[in-house]
Protein backbone atom coordinates (compact mmCIF):
# COMPACT_ATOMS: atom_id res chain seq x y z
CA UNK A 1 0.00 0.00 0.00
CA UNK A 2 0.97 3.64 -0.27
CA UNK A 3 0.27 6.43 2.18
CA UNK A 4 1.55 9.56 3.88
CA UNK A 5 3.18 9.93 7.27
CA UNK A 6 0.73 11.96 9.38
CA UNK A 7 2.61 12.01 12.70
CA UNK A 8 6.08 11.12 13.91
CA UNK A 9 7.65 11.56 17.36
CA UNK A 10 11.43 11.17 16.92
CA UNK A 11 12.08 10.82 20.66
CA UNK A 12 9.74 7.85 21.01
CA UNK A 13 10.20 6.55 17.45
CA UNK A 14 6.44 6.30 16.99
CA UNK A 15 4.28 7.60 14.18
CA UNK A 16 1.28 6.93 12.00
CA UNK A 17 0.61 6.57 8.31
CA UNK A 18 -2.63 7.44 6.55
CA UNK A 19 -3.41 4.96 3.79
CA UNK A 20 -6.63 3.91 2.09
CA UNK A 21 -8.97 5.66 4.54
CA UNK A 22 -7.29 4.19 7.64
CA UNK A 23 -4.46 5.19 9.96
CA UNK A 24 -1.74 2.68 10.78
CA UNK A 25 0.67 3.20 13.68
CA UNK A 26 4.34 2.27 13.25
CA UNK A 27 7.67 2.19 15.07
CA UNK A 28 10.83 3.60 13.48
CA UNK A 29 12.39 0.10 13.36
CA UNK A 30 9.92 -0.67 10.54
CA UNK A 31 11.75 1.74 8.19
CA UNK A 32 13.57 -0.33 5.56
CA UNK A 33 16.38 2.14 4.84
CA UNK A 34 17.92 1.72 8.30
CA UNK A 35 17.26 5.30 9.42
CA UNK A 36 15.24 6.01 12.51
CA UNK A 37 13.41 9.10 11.24
CA UNK A 38 10.88 10.03 8.59
CA UNK A 39 9.39 13.43 7.80
CA UNK A 40 5.73 14.16 8.42
CA UNK A 41 4.07 14.40 5.01
CA UNK A 42 6.48 11.93 3.37
CA UNK A 43 4.96 9.47 0.90
CA UNK A 44 5.74 5.86 1.78
CA UNK A 45 5.01 2.33 0.63
CA UNK A 46 4.23 -0.16 3.40
CA UNK A 47 2.66 -3.46 4.37
CA UNK A 48 0.38 -4.07 7.35
CA UNK A 49 0.44 -6.78 10.00
CA UNK A 50 -1.68 -7.63 13.04
CA UNK A 51 -0.59 -5.65 16.10
CA UNK A 52 -2.71 -7.22 18.81
CA UNK A 53 -6.09 -6.39 20.29
CA UNK A 54 -7.64 -6.43 16.82
CA UNK A 55 -5.48 -3.58 15.51
CA UNK A 56 -3.11 -3.38 12.53
CA UNK A 57 0.25 -1.65 12.21
CA UNK A 58 2.45 -0.54 9.32
CA UNK A 59 5.63 -2.53 8.63
CA UNK A 60 8.25 -2.75 5.88
CA UNK A 61 8.06 1.01 5.32
CA UNK A 62 9.91 2.35 2.28
CA UNK A 63 10.25 6.09 1.66
CA UNK A 64 9.22 7.06 -1.87
Domain locations along the chain: 2-63
Encode 39-48: b = buried (16+ Cβ within 10 Å), e = exposed. Answer: eeebebebeb
Predicted local distance difference test score (pLDDT) of residue 34: 92
The answer to whether the CB of 46 falls within 8 A of the CB of 15 is no
- Domain range 2-63, CATH class: mainly beta
For 30-52, what is the mean pLDDT?
A: 96
Instruction: Give the pLDDT score at 64.
Output: 95
**pLDDT(1) > 90:** yes
Return the pLDDT at 10: 95
- The share of the chain scoring above pLDDT 70, in percent, equals 100
Average pLDDT of the residues in 20-49: 96
Amino acid sequence: MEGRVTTFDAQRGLGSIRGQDADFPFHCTALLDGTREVAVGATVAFAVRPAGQGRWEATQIAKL
